[in-house]
Chain A
Amino acid sequence: MHLVRDVLDKKLMDREDCPMGRVGGLVMHVGESGPPRVTHILVGGPTLWMRIHPALGRLSSALGQMWGPRRKEPAKIPWSRVETVGREVKLDVEGKDTGALDWEIWVARHIIEHIPGGGSEEEE
């Protein structure tokens, strides 16, 4: 398997087949001995902006702490939760529990549901 072609930027699906964003980054542990291991999948704005320029990453991180769900760090999903890597990366997690959908939930609750006809998140 190749990380950039087959994993990075791929869509993430949770155990209920709900989309939970895309693979924004991958954390690799480089130890004293043994091959490096991919330990986590990163999802979230600052990770993406860092890929363009570190200053944009820092700006995104700072803004993200001022409003919205106010995450201090990008959503980090352990690689051990990966079920399959194919057209999408399928995870054995509940999307809402990972933090990957924090912005989606925040926009839904604070903006969309206040507009008539926007609907509401009835299933939790």
Chain B
Amino acid sequence: MKKILQLSLGIITSVGGFLEIGSVTTAAQAGAQFGYKLLWAILLGTLCLIFLIEMSGRLAAVSKHTIVDAIRERFGFPFFFFVLLGTVLVAFMVLVAELGGIGFALQILTGIRFPWWALPVSFVVWLLMWKGTFSLIENGASLLGLVTVSFVVAALRLNPDWTSAASGLLPTLPDDDKSKYWFLAVSILGASISPYLTFFYSSGAIEDKWDRTYLPINRVIAAFGMTFGGLLSMAVLIVAALALRPKGIQVETFQQAALMMTTALPKWGFYLFALSMLFACFGAALEISLAISYFFSQGFGWNWSEDVEPSSDARFAFVYTLIIGFAAVPLMFGVDPIKITMMSMALTSATLPLAIVPFLFLMNDPIYLGKHRNGWISNTVVGVVILISFVLAVVSIPLEIMGG
């Protein structure tokens, strides 16, 4: 029974992957401009993540090492440092965007502009990490994140043509604006296959004291959690396709994205959108702050845990205090979180190979995993993800310039 409750780790992880501001914005833009044609990108991202997340959990449960522990120990400090540079800088940008997303949601709910929310929002995120435990964050964020199910409700109420939608699960090119199409495809993949999700999940498995007996439930959590997130992301796309596309509304601002819920749910839609974004971005902000702090602490061998008081893992606490504080600064000056989101997704794609290539080595390491090493299916999937990551790395920035 206790193991089933671990589903919350899967949910919070997928919230950070699929329902944060980047994923929602790109899914909404994709639906508004191209209808169902980009559903395949969300499906591909979901499938890749299911495997990557399962592997992260398996590594933690069997070897009692997180991915970052294993990267430092197997590849040495210099390689670890370059992975740190690449992934943490980008993750920090995503954190700024998430805090901005919370600010935007509060702007919709209260009318007070988002720069005024930057400091209070950062303070609340920090306070939860300072005083909260891992379980509280994991379960609380997952529970609150469930309000995003309203996207599915909206999608069902709009009565989509399911055959048409299903055809979007296979790649088909649009008639025009191909560079924007590919830019959005790359952005969707960059928004969903985020390395910090794997760091967070493997750290969560250690925080929750997983062992080999958790291997079966790990598979269930990875599959269920990521599918949950993927389906919700698809729901966002479908709602945008049905509510915004016929009206020719392109999603360029957060407020335009909010409009998509009002067609299906006229009375509550606007507020449900704001609440969904509020809780989803909140969960994502917590997840990313933890992921960055875990990365430093595990890589450098510091004490780390959300379950001890801050003075017992002083450097871990110092890192998240610093990054949350710094993340508020650009928002206070009115820097547009949507712009930061788009840039961060292109950069995530550009730095993805750095984080994914070590996976291939670690998941085949007999010392860490013994008989639980990757089989040929998992290795093939990692190989495909590496290929995708290199393609994304090459095209993401040019596409950002051309299509973004």
Contact = CB atoms under 8 A, between A and B. Distances in A.
| Touch A–B, Cβ below 8 Å | yes
Interface of A: 4, 8-12, 18-22, 24, 48, 51-52, 87, 103-105, 107-108, 111-113, 115, 117-121
Given A113-B311, A120-B311, A121-B311, A9 B302 contact: no
A9 B312 contact: no
Given A19-B303, A104-B314, 4 more contacts: A103-B315, A108-B312, A111-B318, A115-B130
A51 B76 CA distance: 9
Size band of the interface chain B makes with A: 20 to 34
B302 A104 contact: yes
Nearest to B82: A52
A27 B150 CA distance: 60
A105 B300 CA distance: 15
A122 to B, nearest CB: 9
A119 B73 contact: no
Given A11-B301, A21-B301, A87-B64, A108 B73 contact: no
Contact of B309 (A8, A9, A24, A119): A119
Interface string B71-115: 011001110110000000000000000000000000000000000
Nearest to A107: B314
B131 A117 contact: yes
A108 B314 CA distance: 5
B50 to A, nearest CB: 28
B76 A118 contact: no
Contacts of B191: none
Given A21-B301, A21-B302, A112-B317, A119 B311 contact: yes
A117 B310 contact: yes
A120 B73 CA distance: 31
Contact of A119 (B63, B64, B312): B312
B69 A118 contact: no
Contacts of A107: 314-315, 318
A11 B310 contact: no
Interface in B299-356: 300-303, 309-312, 314-315, 317-318, 321
B77 A9 contact: yes
Contact of A11 (B69, B77, B315, B317): B69
26 contacts: A8-B76, A9-B72, A9-B73, A9-B80, A11-B69, A12-B301, A18-B303, A19-B302, A20-B301, A22-B72, A22-B300, A51-B76, A51-B77, A52-B77, A104-B302, A104-B303, A105-B314, A107-B315, A108-B312, A111-B318, A112-B310, A113-B311, A118-B130, A118-B317, A119-B312, A121-B312
Nearest to A12: B301
A24 B76 CA distance: 9
A19 B300 CA distance: 11
Contacts of A12: 301
B316 to A, nearest CB: 9
Q: What 4 A-B pairs come out closest when comparing CB atoms? A: A22-B301, A119-B309, A108-B314, A119-B311
Contacts of A8: 76
Given A52-B81, A117-B130, A9 B315 contact: no
Contacts of B300: 21-22
A112 B309 CA distance: 10
B84 to A, nearest CB: 11
A121 B308 CA distance: 12
A119 B77 contact: no
Contact of B314 (A22, A24, A112, A117): A112
B78 A51 contact: yes
